[in-house]
Amino acid sequence: MTVPYYLSGLALRMQTAAPDMSQAPPVYPAYQTDAVIIEGVRNGAAPLFRYSTYDEGAGSLVPLASTSTFDDREKILAVDISLVVNEIPELTASSIELDTRVQIRQRYDGGLE
């Protein structure tokens, strides 16, 4: 299953597509769903997603400078997600900050796609 997330206006959206496993390699059709996850995202210029890799010298996760190439994306070991949400700013001036980290725990031959 492929599940991309993207920001459309102030809405965080998710699409899904299940692969056709009857072919080798599997083929992904057009996205079958396009759902709103949360409304009122107000991150401004702050990124929603930050990607990290493991630096053996530092002994910790460090941010990746780029994710524009396949080789860069293969290095991703953790994704930090940060949302600033205020669905109805007319009712409250303060926003809620939602932060989490997702760590990739298993790699498969051929990398991530």
pLDDT tens digits, residue range 32-87? 889 999 999 999 888 999 999 988 888 888 999 888 888 888 889 999 999 999 98
In the sheet where 33-38 sits, what is the strand order? 5-8, 11-16, 33-38
Which string of b and e fits 16-28 if b means at least 16 CB within 10 Å? ebeeeeeeeeeee
Q: How much is the pLDDT for 105? A: 75
Structure tokens at 58: 């530092």
List the chain domain ranges.
1-39, 43-113
pLDDT(112) > 80: no
> pLDDT-based confidence at 110, cuts 50/70/90?
low
- Spell out where 39-86 has E strands: 49-55, 60-63, 78-85
Placement of tokens 């709103």 in the chain: 36
